[in-house]
Amino acid sequence: MKLFLDTAEIDEIEFAVSLGVVDGVTTNPSLIKQAVEKRRGLVDMEDYIIDILKVTPGPVSLEVISISYEKMVEEAITLYERFKKYGHPVIKIPVCSSLDGVNNVYDGLKTIRELSNRGIPINATLVMSPEQALLAAKAGAAYVSPFAGRIDDYLRDRLGMKRGIDYQKSDYYDFNLMKNIEDKLIDSVISLKDLNDLREVYMDDEVKRATSLLNDKGLHSGVELVRSIVTIFKNYGLKSEIIASSIRNARQVREMAEIGVDIATIPFYVLKEMLIHHKTIEGINDFVKDVVEPYKRIFQYR
C-alpha cells in the first residue's frame, strides 16, 4: 500500500519524504488555507505549490474551486498546465459538485470524463458511497478517494453524538461494537412485534428505523465503504486507484492495508501515531539501561 501525506504544509512534507515512507501528497482548499494562515497570508501561492511538487516523489493532488462543468474544466487545465513541468500534479474534481442536490448534479462526472479524455490525471474526491466510486471510475478517474473518516463522523452524528464532546476527530470508530449494538437493537424491537404477520413487521416504522440507524445504506463504517469499493473494482477490473481518504488514526491505516486498498492518505499526526507504541518505548528504555561497560567500550574504538 502506498502512503500519501494529506497536507499542504511544506515542512511536514519535506520531513516525511526524508523518512522514505511517503509516495505522494494530497491537498485541498482547506489544507491550503491552513498553510496560508500559518504564514499570515505572506505566501506566493504559485511558488509554494511548485515547492511541494518538487519535494514530493509522486503525485500531488490539487483541487479546483468551482462547481460548474465549464469552470472546473477551465481551472483544471490551468492547474495542470501551470504545474506539470515541476512534478506530477493530479487534479481533484468532486464526484458530485451540487450544493443542493438539484443543480450541478452531473457536472463532476462530466468534468472527470472531459479531463480524462484530455490526458489529465483526475482524483475524484468527496466520494461517500460505492455507487459514486463506480461512476467516477467509469468516467475515467485515475484515482478515486472515498472519505472514510467522514462516514464514521456521519454515523456518530446520526446517533446524536457531538464531535469535540462525545468524540474527537482522531478517535477510532468501533464499527464492530456498533454492529453488535445494532443486532441487539433490531432483536429487541422485533421481539415486540406480531411475528404472525411478517409483512407488517417488515413495513413497521420502528423496525425500519432500527435497521437503518447505525449504518449508511448497509455500510457500518468508512472501512466498510472502502472495502466495498475495493471489491467492486476487483470484480470488474476497474483501473482507477483507490485512495482511502479522511483517515483519522493508525488503526484505520492498518485496516485499510488489510483490505488491500491501493493508497491511504494520512495527516502528519497519524504518521507519528503509526510509529509510537508504549512497549517499543519501554523496550528502548530497558536496552539503554542494560548496556554494560564492556559492550559500550566497543563503540569507543575506531
Cell numbers at 200, concatenated: 407488517
Cell numbers at 131, concatenated: 455507487
* Residue 186 exposure: Cα atoms within 13 Å on the Cβ side: 14
Q: How far apart are CA 268 and CA 277, in angstroms?
A: 17
Contacts of 271-277 spanning 24+ positions with Cβ under 8 A: 271/3, 271/5, 271/16, 271/21, 273/249, 274/250
Q: How far apart are CA 55 and CA 72, in angstroms?
A: 27
Q: Which amino acid is at 4?
A: F
DSSP 163: B
Q: What number of other Cβ atoms are within 10 A of residue 195's Cβ?
A: 9
Which helix H or strand E contains 89, and what residues bound it? strand 88-94
Task: Name the active-site residue from 92, 169, 208, 279.
Answer: 92
217 as an active site residue: the answer is: no
Which residue reads 464526484 in cell numbers? 95
Q: Which residues contact 205 (CB under 8 A, 6 or more apart)?
A: none
Question: What are the residue numbers of the active site?
Answer: 92
